Structure 1
């Protein structure tokens, strides 16, 4: 598996599938590239898809040091550099959407089109999940079930017994999970959002309470020219359960930018 070298020497594993214009797909907190496995083919049929294992996950290095969403964005740039790519479309979901914000803010020349999925500008200005959800997630005996119910509708879960790809990288060291949580919780891109110049689409599930759906309009109002599409009935993993709506919406947006 190819690996890029980050500015601090950490090795960042990445994966490439498909041909065409490059699209980087960024996973959620404490997850590796397999987050995208159920729907990656939707994009790889048209685009050269690039995923990576966040530091602390998968086959990437796992330094026990402070992680930040801006630092994760720098790791993505290291992957682009290793591939010899000056520019790529970026589609980030959940924490990956937070990282995508920093890519567009700090590295605007590297970002073509930007898609922000089920994400927020950060706790300081965004809409946060309830304390009841935080308490439920803090119980190790219930974490996976609570996460699944936040990700998917009951009907979908009843019809799809797994395996699931959004419950985190089971091989992560405990310290790395903690570092990811702190990085995501400390994210605050509010001041930089108005400076984003990339064409932007904001996607969100209308019934998402993990990253409340109100964040979608907040981001769209903060980023110049951004469009927002809220998928009715979808929860946090809208991109998977509602792929018949979400993937075409994302592909239509990317295609329009390629033709512009």
Structure 2
């Protein structure tokens, strides 16, 4: 385990595995680096996978309250890349991690070689079709794993991967940190600046995502120049884990775009 010092002095825990081009994984809201589980293992067969715990999560310090915005969390991500001596990396963000990845690509274009955004949004919903399902949001706020599983994963995957499921939903985090992560994700709004994203961008989105409905991905595709959208049939919010075929799609995209 390694630690990087954020601008406010907070220690951010990070790890790496595998060889090849650097690939930074940015986890979702209140989710630790361990939550990437089998996906990180698959990707580390092809890339030098760098993961980290967001401030206030897992083994990272909580830092100061005002640093909990997606744009400043992107600064944390840049800090981790610097600590890992990864001047240029592929970046893969899930959910709130995708929101953070957007700011990383906007504010640190020299660091982002390709950008992969899974189950995410550009921010506040410009129309009703992009808004999350009310019951799904109530389940998210509840933190009840039994209610959340069906929103994230295919039931057969959950049965076959109980350890990965439990690890994903049970990251160590205080109520203080969880509340600030939730607010950071809710307040994210990058729509007006997504046009400046220079990195080749792959958008992955489940057709059955009730937390971040598919229209969000369609809007991202419109706003990010030359981006590519792949709809994942039947997938919910946790497609980055329960649809391992996405790893091969990511490999193909990176191979094609990073030449």
Superposition TM-score tier, normalisation by shorter sequence: over 0.9
Query: Once the two structures are superposed, what CA deviation does each residue of 1:10-48 show, in whole Å capped at 9, x if it has no partner?
Result: 111101101111000111110110111111122111110
Q: By how many angstroms is 1:124 displaced? A: 4.1
Structure 1 residue 2: Cα displacement: 0.9
Tell whether 2:97 aligns with 1:96. Answer: yes
TM-score of the aligned structures, taking structure 1 as reference length: 0.93
Classify the secondary structure of the residue corresponding to 1:30: coil
The answer to whether 1:128 aligns with 2:131 is yes
SS at match of 1:38: helix
Matched, 1:15 2:18: no
Partner SS for 1:221? helix
Structure 2: runs of 5 or more not aligned: none
Q: Over residues 135-172 of structure 1, what are the superposed CA-to-partner deviations in whole Å (9 max), with x where a residue is unaligned? A: 333445xx211211100123433554445133141x21
Q: Which residue is 2:237 aligned to?
A: 236
Per the alignment, residue 45 of structure 2 pairs with: 45
Give the 4+ runs in structure 1 shifted more than 6 A. none
SS, match of residue 230 in structure 1: strand
Q: In the alignment, is the contact (CA less than 8 A) between 1:64 and 1:176 conserved in 2?
A: no
Note if contact 2:8-2:63 (Cα within 8 Å) is conserved in structure 1.
no
Q: 1:5 to 1:153 in 2, by over 3 A?
A: same
| Structure with more helix by fraction | 2
Residue 63 of structure 1 is matched in structure 2 by 63
> 2:176 aligned with 1:145, yes or no?
no
Instruction: Give, in whole Å, the separation in 2 of the partners of 1:191 and 1:241.
Output: 32
Correspondences of 1:187-198 after superposition (within 5 Å): 187-198=188-199
Partner of 2:113: 112
Residues 160 and 2 (structure 1 numbering): CA distance in 2 closer, same or farther, change over 3 Å?
Answer: closer
Query: What is the correspondence of 1:149-160 to structure 2 with a 5 Å cutoff?
Result: 149-160=150-161
Cα offset, 1:241, TM superposition: 1.4
2: distance between equivalents of 1:180 and 1:168? Answer: 15
Q: Deviations over 1:70-128 (max 9, x none)?
A: 11100011111112222111000111000000001111111000000100011243722
RMSD across aligned positions (CA):
1.6
Give the Cα–Cα distance (whole angstroms) in 1 for the partners of residues 142 and 55 of structure 2: 25
TM-score of the aligned structures, taking structure 2 as reference length: 0.93
What residue is the counterpart of 1:54 in the other structure? 54
How far residue 213 of structure 1 moved from its aligned partner, in angstroms, is 1.6
3-state SS in 2 of match to 1:39: helix
Give how far 1:210 is off.
1.3
Between Structure 1 and Structure 2, how many residues are aligned?
Answer: 255
Unpaired runs of 5+ residues, structure 1, are none
